[in-house]
Structure formats: C-alpha cells, structure tokens
C-alpha cells in the first residue's frame, strides 16, 4: 500500500526472488548494477550460513545485529509455554539504548493480537466466524482511501462484500486486496483462495468497533492489554508509548522517517515491546482451545512448503510438528514471531531496522531448530533494495 506523501509500508515489501528486475526497473540508476545482483546475493547467503549454533542466544543475537547493521533488536524467548528470557542487541554506533520495555512498531504482528481479541468475542457470542462481516455493519462499509485519514472515502458498492465472513478475514480468503488507495473492490470470489489482505482486517475492525461500541485502541486495552499486563502496548501512538519507542532505521542503520500511528489500524499499527508480546504468546500457547481453533481448518498457501493459514496466523507443518508464525514489515521496522504447538517453544523478535528480517531464520534455528521451509517462501524473499543499501551504500 502506498499512502502517497505519508508513505506507510504496510504491505510486504520484501521482493519476490523471481522478480528482482521488476523492482530495480523502478529505480533507473540501479539498472547498470544488475550484473552485480547475483554476486551480492550469493555473498549474503554465504554469510548467513556461517555457524551460529555454538553460542548462547544472547551472543548469537549480538553477532547477527552487528552483521546486518540492525540498530535495535529485542527477542522474547519462550520455552515450554513459559517466558524464558528477554534478549536484546544493537549493531550500530553509537549503540541504541535498549531495555526490556523498549517499544517497536510490530507491523503485521498486529494481526494475531487482533485475531485473538476477535476469537474472544466469538467465545462471548458477540461475533460468529461464519457470519458475514457486513451483518454487523447494517449502514454499510465506508472505505477510507488512506486509513490514517477520514477523507477521501466512499461507501463500498461491490455486492460481493456481503459474502465475506469473519473466518475469511482471519484466514485471508476474503478476496480483498492487501491495500487499496482508491475505491475498494473484491479481487476474487470470497472464500475461494488465499490472498493476503490488510484491507479485510480493517473491514473486520469496523465490525468489532460496531459490536463493542468502542474504538479499536480502547477495546484492545480492555480486552487484551490490561488482562495480560501488556503495559507497554497500544494500537495508537501516545506519550506513554513515545517514552520507550525506538526510532526506525534504514537497512544501513541510517534514520528512516516513519509513520506516527494516530489512528488504530488492526492490520498494522500495534506498538509493543518484546516482553509484552512474549506475554501474549505465552497466553495463547497455554490456551489449548484457541490453538486448536486457530489451526483446525487452515487454508492452503504453499503446499510444497507445508504452508497454510489459520485464524490469524500462518501455519507451517512438518512430519511431527505444527508451528504458528507471522512476519511484520512497516517502514523502518521489521518483526517476526514463531512458536511450536507441540513443544511450546518459540520467540518473538522486534527490530527497528529494515534489515531486521535477516535475523529471523538464524534465530529460528537457534531457538526452534528445524527445517522451517517457510523461509523459502516468496513472502520472506530477499529484499534487493536492502542488499544494495548494506553492500553498496545506495539507500533509498
């Protein structure tokens, strides 16, 4: 999604491995550098294969942060469904000041937290998974072309919106686009195929606000943050959040102008700390009913990689385990969370760097060892622009 002058990178901006040329074509100055791409990516891959298995989680995190110029990273480690430790590191000079309460933009890690609240409303009988979202919005749905601004907007006329259920939003089969900066239209028949959509989450957000009579940020404080003692979390920017918020950075550690989320957006505006998100993850992993509900009837995403999508979470299956996961990508920030349903081990990683997802795979191997084919998915493909930034110092 592009919000014009107030650009917010709320859609996955990591470039699919199969189309790096398409990205570079938008930056004519890079075209002369095309022959270097394969060399650079090969070098990066070799660097990432370096053995990091012998050190502690803390030491591994420090090495990775320095290697990838990640100015601030915090990780909550979960073992056997309990919070084991909070680790942090900085890879920039001067070093960022990090604390257990340091706050980051969690980007799309907002979605599982919102989904948790939605499933609680389902338990309470206030929502139903297989009821159309529009049944909770009898006055219609007004789509804001920029979700951070009231106008321009319009009532959505596409009648296929009536077929989108709560379940379809949570498992990304609504048929809506990820983001639409103009009139909103359904791309494909609701319920037929997986298509990642932030717009669908905003639609469901409006239904939640209508049912509860509260703006999303107030509802989430009462329904999730206060009960779980997530004291450094919110869906909007405020002075309390600002006290501990780390500024976003480019892939080379240079400052990056980022959005200030003054309006709550269910898909992307969560501010949180690693400790707070760790509390949420522990709570979820100890709720057998919700875990079964999330993973019971997933929608196929990439069968060759064992990837599907449940209610609010990506799902990775191998021969003897199921993992839930999600990645996050906002301008100046990257985030990642994964947990094993069988062992109750996992971690959440928050970074204030556009290179932050480079740490996800090695940290997964450290904390939840396994093949994790999800890292082969185009959703987590190589970000060519970041490669140029970190290797050639050409940073957009």
The predicted-structure confidence for 325-368, as pLDDT tens digits, reads as follows 999 999 999 999 999 999 999 999 999 999 999 999 999 999 99
State the DSSP H helix or E strand holding residue 137, giving kind and residue range, or none if neither.
Answer: none
pLDDT digits (tens, 9 = 90+) for 162-190: 999 999 999 999 999 999 999 999 999 99
- Over residues 26-41, the mean pLDDT reads 45
User: Percent of the chain, pLDDT > 70?
Assistant: 83
- Over residues 56-85, the mean pLDDT reads 96
What distance in Å separates the CA atoms of residue 24 and residue 194, rounded to the nearest whole number? 28
What distance in Å separates the CA atoms of residue 172 and residue 149, rounded to the nearest whole number? 24
Hey, which bits of the chain come out as E strands? Answer: 73-79, 82-89, 103-107, 142-144, 153-155, 270-273, 299-302, 307-309, 314-317, 322-330, 333-340, 346-351
3-state SS class at 353: strand
300 beta partners: 308
30 or 214, higher pLDDT: 214
pLDDT band at residue 394, thresholds of 50, 70 and 90?
A: low
Hey, which bits of 226-377 come out as E strands? Answer: 270-273, 299-302, 307-309, 314-317, 322-330, 333-340, 346-351
Q: What is the DSSP letter of 345?
A: -
Contact 58, 73 (CB under 8 A): no
- Over residues 183-208, the mean pLDDT reads 97
- Over residues 2-31, the mean pLDDT reads 37
Contact 358, 64 (CB under 8 A): yes
First to last CA, the chain: 17
What distance in Å separates the CA atoms of residue 47 and residue 252, rounded to the nearest whole number? 16
Largest CA distance in the chain: 59
3-state SS class at 180: coil
The 10 Å Cβ neighbour count of residue 23 is 15
Task: State the pTM of this model.
Answer: 0.87
What distance in Å separates the CA atoms of residue 80 and residue 96, rounded to the nearest whole number? 31
What distance in Å separates the CA atoms of residue 10 and residue 52, rounded to the nearest whole number? 31
124 pLDDT higher than 90: yes
Report how far apart, in Å, the C-alpha atoms of 346 and of each of 84, 224, 250, 268, 371 are.
10, 20, 27, 22, 14
Give DSSP secondary structure letters for 156-167: ---GGGGG-BHH
3-state SS class at 18: coil
């Amino acid at each position: 999604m592009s919000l014009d002058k107030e650009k917010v990178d709320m859609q996955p901006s990591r470039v699919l491995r199969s189309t790096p040329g398409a990205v570079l074509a938008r930056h004519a100055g890079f075209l002369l550098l095309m022959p270097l791409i394969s060399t650079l990516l090969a070098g990066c891959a070799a660097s990432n294969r370096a053995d990091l298995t012998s050190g502690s989680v803390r030491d591994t995190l420090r090495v990775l942060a320095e290697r990838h110029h990640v100015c601030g990273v915090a990780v909550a480690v979960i073992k056997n469904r309990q919070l084991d430790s909070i680790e942090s590191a900085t890879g920039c000079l001067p070093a960022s000041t990090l604390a257990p309460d340091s706050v980051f933009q969690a980007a799309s890690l907002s979605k599982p937290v919102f989904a948790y609240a939605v499933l609680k409303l389902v338990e309470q009988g206030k929502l139903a998974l297989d009821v159309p979202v529009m049944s909770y919005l009898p006055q219609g749905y007004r789509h804001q072309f920029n979700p951070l601004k009231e106008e321009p907007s319009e009532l959505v006329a596409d009648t296929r919106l009536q077929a989108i259920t709560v379940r379809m939003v949570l498992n990304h089969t609504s048929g809506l686009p990820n983001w639409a900066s103009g009139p909103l239209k359904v791309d494909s028949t609701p319920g037929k195929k997986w298509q990642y959509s932030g717009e669908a989450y905003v639609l469901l957000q409006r239904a939640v606000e209508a049912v509860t009579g509260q703006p999303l940020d107030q509802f989430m404080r009462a329904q999730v943050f206060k009960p779980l003692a997530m004291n450094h979390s919110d869906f909007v920017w405020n002075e309390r959040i600002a006290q501990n918020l780390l500024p976003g950075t480019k892939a080379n550690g240079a400052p990056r102008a980022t959005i200030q989320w003054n309006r709550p957006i269910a898909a992307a505006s969560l501010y949180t700390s690693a400790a707070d998100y760790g509390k949420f993850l522990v709570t979820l992993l100890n709720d057998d009913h919700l875990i079964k509900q999330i993973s019971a009837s997933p929608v196929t995403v990439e069968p060759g990689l064992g990837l599907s999508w449940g209610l609010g979470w990506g799902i990775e299956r191998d021969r003897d385990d199921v993992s839930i996961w999600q990645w996050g990508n906002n301008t100046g920030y990257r985030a990642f969370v994964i947990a094993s349903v069988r062992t109750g081990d996992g971690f959440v990683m928050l970074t204030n760097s556009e290179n932050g997802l480079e740490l996800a795979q090695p940290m997964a191997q450290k904390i939840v060892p396994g093949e994790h084919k999800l890292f082969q998915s185009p959703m987590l493909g190589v970000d060519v622009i970041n490669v140029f930034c970190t290797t050639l110092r050409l940073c957009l």
